[in-house]
Amino acid sequence: MTIQDVAKHLGISWDTVKDIQARSLQRRFGKPKLHNLQQIAIDEIAIAKGHRYVTVVLNLVSGAVVFVGDGKGVDALKPFWRRLRRARAKIVAVATDLSKAYIRAVRDNLPKAVHVFDHFHVIKLFNEKLSAFRRALYSQLTTEQERKLLKGTRWLLLKNPENLDADKNERERLDEALQLNAPLATAYYLKEDLRQIWMQDNKRAARRVLRDWLARARASGIPMLVQFAATLEEHQQGVLAYYHYPISTGPLEGTNNKIKTMKRQAYGFRDHEFFKLKILGIHEAKHALVG
């Protein structure tokens, strides 16, 4: 039930119900135990328009949220590092995206932990580059027929081949667009091969796949692919660290969806600290595994 529904049912004020819930959340979830933490994921989550964020740390073993910081970047995590040092936790692995802020924060505060770069973010970053590349190619086309073939293919380029809808002739439409432009075809097929880095039996095989991908991207001479290859090579240690700890920030995406649902049900939160407590308690049943 919403706070308003509870207040109406009990015949008391909205503020009274909210204060009772806030005290309960603070008592149960306000200071999560950190001393047994081993594997964590870190990511920022947008909570409102105007670039308002919170930074969330998730216990990847239990699935419970163990920290919610204001904003994003290095400063948002400072209170977490202080609590982690007091708890003397022995973190062995951390999953984040390729953010320089996260790389610096993990290096400075968890120098012995294995830092795994989330593979979903790597693929997402390539997809963003591919979309921009398609837009640039579209603007260079000179005939209406060429524009017609390329128009509306963005989602076809980003879809996994196995998800193309045969009833809508998506495979045929994609093939026509790829035949139209060789650089676009090269970028598309490298996008598909990029996933293979995380689908090998061991790290040695994955390293070979990665090196082959980098070589082909550079050999293409396509500036977008050459630049992405440089980024991927720079972060290859964290990419291949997946074979030591196959973790990602994926579970945080599920938490993000739950937060959005909670916001919709509450029509927003006026009290930011109360909202953070609600996030800490969002996986209530999983907190029993933390300790």
Provide DSSP, 27-45. HHHSS---TT--EEEEEEE
| Same domain (yes/no): 202, 270 | no
Residue 17 has pLDDT above 80, yes or no: no
Helix (H) or strand (E) holding 93: strand 93-96
φ, ψ (nearest 5 deg) of residue 114: -80, 125
Specify if 130 maps to a domain: yes
The last residue of one of the domains, among 226, 242, 258, is: 242
Beta bridge partners of 69: 55
**161 & 266 share domain:** no
Instruction: Say if residue 131 is in the same domain as residue 194.
Output: yes
pLDDT digits (tens, 9 = 90+) for 148-184: 667 767 677 777 777 777 777 777 777 777 777 888 8
Q: How many CB atoms lie within 10 A of CB 175?
A: 13
Whether residue 58 lies inside any domain: the answer is yes
**Is 60 within 8 Å of 41 (Cβ atoms)?**
yes
21 — pLDDT class (breaks 50, 70, 90): confident
Tell me the C-alpha distance between 123 and 291, whole Å: 34
Same domain, 237 and 254: no
Considering the domain boundaries, does residue 177 fall inside one?
yes
Distances (CA, A) of 271 to 6, 38, 170, 274, 288: 18, 32, 47, 5, 26
Same domain, 280 and 211: no
**Are residues 254 and 234 part of one domain?**
no
60 and 149 part of one domain: no
Total length of the chain = 291
Mean pLDDT of 260-272: 67
* Domain-located, residue 5: no
Say which residue the tokens 């579970």 belong to.
251
Residues 109 and 252 in one domain: yes
- How many CA atoms, within 13 angstroms, populate the side-chain half-sphere of residue 11? 0
CATH at 81: 3.30.420.10
pLDDT, tens only, 123-155: 999 999 999 988 887 777 667 766 766 776 767
What DSSP designation does 95 have? E
Q: What is the pTM of this model?
A: 0.80
37 and 65 part of one domain: yes
**What is the separation of C-alpha 147 from the centre of its chain, rounded to a whole number of angstroms?**
33
Measured at the CA of 221, the angle between CA 219 and CA 223, to 5 degrees, comes to 130
Determine which of 5-14, 18-27, 81-90, 91-100 has the lowest per-residue pLDDT on average: 18-27
Domain total of the chain:
2
Domain shared by 237 and 152, yes or no: yes
**Rounded CA gap, 162 and 164, in Å?**
6
The parent domain of residue 90 ranges over 31-118+248-289
Q: Are residues 141 and 228 in the same domain?
A: yes
Same domain? For 83 and 145 the reply is: no
Give dist(CA 149, CA 281) in Å, integer: 49
